[in-house]
Amino acid sequence: MTLSPFSRATLPSLALCAALLSLNSHAQDSESTAHSNAASADDEPKAVLPLDELRTFADVFNHIRLSYVEEVDDETLLEYAIQGMLEGLDPHSSYLNEESYDDLQVNTSGEFGGLGMEVGMENGFVKVISPIDDTPADKAGIESGDLIIKLGDQPVKGLNLNEAVKLMRGPKGSKIVITVVREGAAQPFELTLKRDTIKVASVKSKELDPGYHYVRIAQFQANTGTEFAAILKKIHSSQEPLKGLILDLRNNPGGVLQSSVEVVDALVKEGLIVYTLGRIEHADFRHSATGSDLIDGAPVVVLINGGSASASEIVAGALQDHHRAVIMGTNSFGKGSVQSVVPISEDRAIKLTTARYYTPSGRSIQAQGIAPDIEVEHAKIETIKTRGGITEADLKGHLKSGDGSESDSKERRKKTNTALFNRDNQLYEALNLLKGLNILSAGKAQADTKPASAAL
C-alpha cells in the first residue's frame, strides 16, 4: 500500500520540522531584541538556524523512518543524529551514552578492561595513539601510528569510535584477532591479543646509575601529580646526591590536565605553565607555578615520541619553554585541544572540544606537536668492536700509569651499561647527556671555588 503524502507516518517529521522552525523563529526574535537593545550585539554570533537545512534534515529523518529496511524508533534516530553531529566536528568530540560515559569515568581512575591502548579515528579506521605499558597491546607489539582495519571478522570502516572500542572490550582471557596496517610494512598483518583487566600504574621510578634517576609516567591520572611529587621528594632526600633526572613521557596518551600542571609545578619555581583559549568564558584559564622546584635545579631530560599526546605535550612544552629540561626523542603527537565533558542527563553526556591550549611562550601544539631539542630515533643499535682490541695496557712490559689509577680505569670500563644501550637507545642517550651535563657543572663549580692566582 502506498502512503499518501499526509499519512500518519509523516507526522513526526512535520512536528520535528515545526519545532525546529519555531526555535529558529525564537532565535530571530531574540536576535532582533538584542540588536535593538545593545550596540555590542554586532559582535555576537548570529543565532539563526538555516531553514533549508532544517527542512532537509526533517525530510531525511522521515525517509529513514518510512523506507529503511528495518524499523527504527524515533528516539534511536535522534540519538544517531546527535552522534553524527559531534563526530563530524573533530576526532575527539563524541556523544557518551550510558556505557561510554561509565567507561570514561573508569578510565581516568586507572583500571579498566580491554586491550590497553589509547585510540582515535582517522579516515574511518581506528588509529593507535599509543599502547599502554605492560598491557596486551604493548606485549603484542602494537605501535603508535598503527591503523586497525579489522576487529575479528568485523571491518572497522563504517563503525564509529564507541562501536570499535566496544568490540575491543570483552571478558578477561578472551582473545581477539586484529588486522593492522603499519607504515613501512608491505601489507596488513594480523595480531592475536588476549584481553585483560588493565591496571595502569601511572608513575614508576628506578635508579639507573648512582645519582641518576628514571621516572616513567604512563598516563596522567587524578593522583599522578601527587605521586610524582612524592617520588621527587624521596629521591632528593636520599643519601646519594641527585645528579640528573630522566622523565619518560613516550607513548603517554595524556589524561587529566590538572595532573600535568602539577608535574611541571614540581620542577619549575615560577612562571606560566599552560593557558587555554576558547569561545566561551569558562573555557579560558591559566595555570602558573607555585614556587617549588623539588629537586633544586638538578638537570632533567624529558623523553617524548609520536605517542606522547595532550597532557604529556603540556609538560614537555612547558619545561622546554622554561629551559628547565632538554627534550629528547622524536616529534610528539600534536593533540593541543581541551575536551569538556558536559552531562546532559543522569547517564548521558557529550565530550566536546571547547578550547586549544598553548605553551607559556604562546605556541599551539594542535596538529604540530612538540619538536625535541635533540632528535633521537628509536633504533636497534649494534656495537662494532675494534679489530684486535689491543691497547697500550695490553703490551708486554708497558709502563704503569704512575698514579695507581690503572685498576680504576678497568673497573670504569666494566660499568658501561651495555644492556641499556642494546635495549633502549633513546634512554641510553638521555643518560649519557645527563652525565655530560653533570661533568660540566662539576667542572664549573670547581673553577668558581678555585682561588684566583696572584700576579707576581
Catalytic positions = 310, 321, 335
Q: Which of 187, 330, 364, 353 is nearest to 279 (CA)?
A: 353
Residues 6 or more apart whose CB falls under 8 angstroms from that of 104 comprise 96, 341, 349, 351
**359 three-class SS:** coil
Give the cell for residue 100.
561510554
What is the separation of C-alpha 90 from the centre of its chain, rounded to a whole number of angstroms? 16
φ/ψ of 7, rounded to 5, equals -70, 170
Q: Indicate the DSSP class of residue 97.
A: -
Q: For residue 350, what is the enclosing H or E element?
A: strand 349-358
Q: 75-81: long-range contacts (C-beta < 8 A, 24 or more apart)? A: 81/57
Q: 282-285: long-range contacts (C-beta < 8 A, 24 or more apart)? A: 283/338, 283/340, 283/354, 283/355, 284/355
What does the alpha-carbon distance between residue 257 and residue 336 come to, in Å, rounded to a whole number?
11
Residues pairing with 255 in the sheet: 220
Look up cell 632538554; give the residue. 326
What does the alpha-carbon distance between residue 455 and residue 453 come to, in Å, rounded to a whole number?
6
Residues 6 or more apart whose CB falls under 8 angstroms from that of 56 comprise none
Give the cell for residue 74.
524515533
Q: Contact 433/422 with Cβ under 8 angstroms?
A: no
**Count of CB atoms situated within 10 Å of the CB of 43:** 7
What does the alpha-carbon distance between residue 215 and residue 204 come to, in Å, rounded to a whole number?
6
What does the alpha-carbon distance between residue 316 and residue 260 come to, in Å, rounded to a whole number?
10
Give the Cα-Cα-Cα angle 239, 245, 247 (nearest 5 degrees).
140
Residues 6 or more apart whose CB falls under 8 angstroms from that of 287 comprise 261, 272, 273, 274, 275
Q: Which of 261, 198, 253, 250 is nearest to 224 (CA)?
A: 261
Q: Which amino acid does the sequence have at 32?
A: S
CA distances (Å), 219 to each of 42, 118, 130, 193, 335, in order?
Answer: 44, 10, 10, 21, 15
